[in-house]
């Protein structure tokens, strides 16, 4: 909420109407979304058209123009992936500016939501790239992963201390520890559960991802443009030509 909070600070200092301040915060979030989205498309070495189509996801745009934390989280995660791929295909060693951007972006991803921490492991592909020339650059990757892991664990621990979260989990019979144990001890059953869930709720998940249900799932969008978008998203990788590939 850091970026949108700037709008609230400006509104408080200027004595603006709360309604206008909320819309200004939404605009601030959208500006950052456009900025990171633009540079993500610009620097990503492959899949530019696919990423462009993905950014037109109605749900993505709806979140980008809100005060929700997802507005910033989505753009930060996508930019991080694009930046790592850019470094992977880079023919020269990382610059100091690139190192700073990499570390700050990685920390932002791990602090945004701890469930996004695994995205950081994509940076391991850099160990085979020309961008990592010296041992100190390899250490940078390892240290960044270690630090972001600690931050993600700390974020989870702090969040778990709130009593209302524990009460909600208990009320809805949610036990993360037991869930993880069950997945580890019954992996085949877990995979079967995934397929069963997709078979039963797959259509709902697709429409939810594509943006048929906006707002608090109370703004319904016509299914036709959603299906067209899904078809376009599916066909884009097939028609887009890339001269580069991960090794």
Which token pair is 46? 């492959």
pLDDT at 81: 93
pLDDT at 157 exceeding the cut of 90: no
Per residue in 64-106, pLDDT (tens digit) is: 888 888 888 888 999 999 999 999 888 888 888 999 999 999 9
Residue 231 CB: number of other CB atoms within 10 A?
Answer: 10
Residue that is written with structure tokens 């580069």 in the block: 244
State the distance between the two ends of the chain, measured CA to CA, in whole angstroms: 37
What does the alpha-carbon distance between residue 103 and residue 175 come to, in Å, rounded to a whole number?
33
- Could you tell me which residues are beta bridge partners of residue 219? 214
pLDDT at 136: 72
**Percent share of the chain, pLDDT over 70:** 87
What does the alpha-carbon distance between residue 23 and residue 6 come to, in Å, rounded to a whole number?
12
| 3-state SS, residue 172 | coil
Per residue in 172-182, pLDDT (tens digit) is: 666 767 777 88
- Please, which pLDDT band fits residue 247 given cuts at 50, 70 and 90? low
pLDDT at 144 exceeding the cut of 60: yes
pLDDT at 222: 81
Which token pair is 103? 């570390």
- Please, which pLDDT band fits residue 128 given cuts at 50, 70 and 90? confident
Question: Is the Cβ–Cβ distance between 129 and 87 less than 8 Å?
Answer: yes
Question: Is the Cβ–Cβ distance between 55 and 41 less than 8 Å?
Answer: yes
Q: What is the mean pLDDT of residues 137-145?
A: 87
pTM value is: 0.80
109 Cβ contact partners less than 8 Å away, ≥ 6 residues apart: 76, 77, 80, 116, 117, 119, 120, 148
Spatial CA neighbour of 120 closest among 97, 140, 144, 104: 144
Which token pair is 156? 């989870």
């Amino acid at each position: 909420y850091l970026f949108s909070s700037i709008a609230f600070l400006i509104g408080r200092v200027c004595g603006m109407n709360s309604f206008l301040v909320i819309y200004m915060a939404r605009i601030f979030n959208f500006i950052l979304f456009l900025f990171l989205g633009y540079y993500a498309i610009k620097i990503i070495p492959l899949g530019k058209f696919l990423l462009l189509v993905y950014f037109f996801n109605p749900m993505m745009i709806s979140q980008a123009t809100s005060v929700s934390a997802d507005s910033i989280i989505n753009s930060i995660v996508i930019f991080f992936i694009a930046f790592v791929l850019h470094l992977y295909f880079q023919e020269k060693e990382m610059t100091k500016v690139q190192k700073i951007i990499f570390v700050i972006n990685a920390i932002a991803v791990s602090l945004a939501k701890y469930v996004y921490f695994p995205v950081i492991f994509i940076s391991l592909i850099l160990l085979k790239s020309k961008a990592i020339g010296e041992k100190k650059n390899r250490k940078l990757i390892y240290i960044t992963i270690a630090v972001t892991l600690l931050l993600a664990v700390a974020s989870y621990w702090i969040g778990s201390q709130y009593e209302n979260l524990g009460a909600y989990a208990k009320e809805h019979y949610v036990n993360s520890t037991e869930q993880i144990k069950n997945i580890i001890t019954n992996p085949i059953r877990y995979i079967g559960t995934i397929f069963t869930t997709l078979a039963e709720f797959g259509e709902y998940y697709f429409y939810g991802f594509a943006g048929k249900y906006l707002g608090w799932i109370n703004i319904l969008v016509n299914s036709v443009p959603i299906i067209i978008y899904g078809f376009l998203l599916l066909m884009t990788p097939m028609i887009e030509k890339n001269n580069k590939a991960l090794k």
